[in-house]
Amino acid sequence: GSPRNGLDGREATMPLRIAEAQAVRRIIEERFGKDHAADKRWAICGDMNDYRQRVKIEGDSVDGYRFQVIDESQSCINVLTAGGFCENVVERRPEMDRWSFYHTRGPEERHLCQLDYILLSKGLAAKNATAVPDIVRNGQPWRTIFPAGQEVERFPRAGWDRPKASDHCPVVIALDMA
């Protein structure tokens, strides 16, 4: 049988991603104290390879694209944000504009999702309550389907599929750390 026992890749690897998120949370709680960690200044940043929402893409360039936000029932990110431990500040952006990754396996399976995160401790998020991250999408290949109004000028020499800056879009934010 399949090495994934019939599960898709995300579902098959979910237990590992949840365990990794639990380990990261435990490291922070041990460093700052479980009862005080959320109030300290720290951030978890990077590619978590998981998402809480995805934007399903249907249609084509002739008849037009349709975009639908779909909430996922399970994500390793929930382990980190549970109980207000930290905030996914990318969620300060509109739902349709949080994506950092374009996934496709042909016209029948296409979506945009957030795989790249800036998670701020509750205290650091409160100190930077008006800070909204930028998502740099200029390095995306031309095959990436953008929702209306989100198109960007591509970096020079970006190709249809390759070359590209990355399959992920960097997420950046300016923070007051004082």
Task: Outline where DSSP puts E strands in the chain.
Answer: 43-47, 53-60, 64-71, 86-88, 101-104, 110-113, 116-121, 134-135, 171-172
Does residue 3 sit within a domain? no
Does residue 178 sit within a domain? no
- Tell me how many domains the chain contains: 1
For the chain, give the mean pLDDT: 95
Does residue 2 sit within a domain? no
Q: What is the mean pLDDT of residues 103-113?
A: 93
Residue found under tokens 């998020």: 125
Does residue 166 sit within a domain? yes
Task: Give the model's pLDDT for residue 1.
Answer: 47
Does residue 154 sit within a domain? yes
Using CA of residue 68, residue 134, residue 145, residue 168, what is the dihedral sign? negative
Does residue 158 sit within a domain? yes
Of 108, 9, 5, residue with least CA distance to 51: 9
pLDDT surpassing 60 at residue 22: yes
Angstrom distance (rounded) from CA 6 to CA 3: 8
Does residue 32 sit within a domain? yes
Tokens standing for 90? Answer: 């990318």
Task: Give the model's pLDDT for residue 2.
Answer: 55
What Cα–Cα distance (Å) separates residue 19 from each residue in 37, 73, 83? 19, 17, 18
Range of the domain at 67: 9-172
Give the amino acid at 130. Answer: T
The percent of residues in the chain predicted with pLDDT above 70, rounded, is 97
- 3: confidence class by pLDDT, cuts 50, 70, 90: low
What residues contact 10, with CB distance under 8 A and at least 6 apart? 50
What Cα–Cα distance (Å) separates residue 68 from each residue in 2, 16, 84, 104? 31, 28, 27, 15
Query: Cβ distance 93 to 150 under 8 Å?
Result: no
Tens digit of pLDDT for each residue in 45-79?
Answer: 999 999 999 999 999 999 999 999 999 999 999 99
Angstrom distance (rounded) from CA 100 to CA 171: 8
Does residue 4 sit within a domain? no
Tens digit of pLDDT for each residue in 77-100?
Answer: 999 999 999 999 999 999 999 999
Q: What is the mean pLDDT of residues 105-128?
A: 96
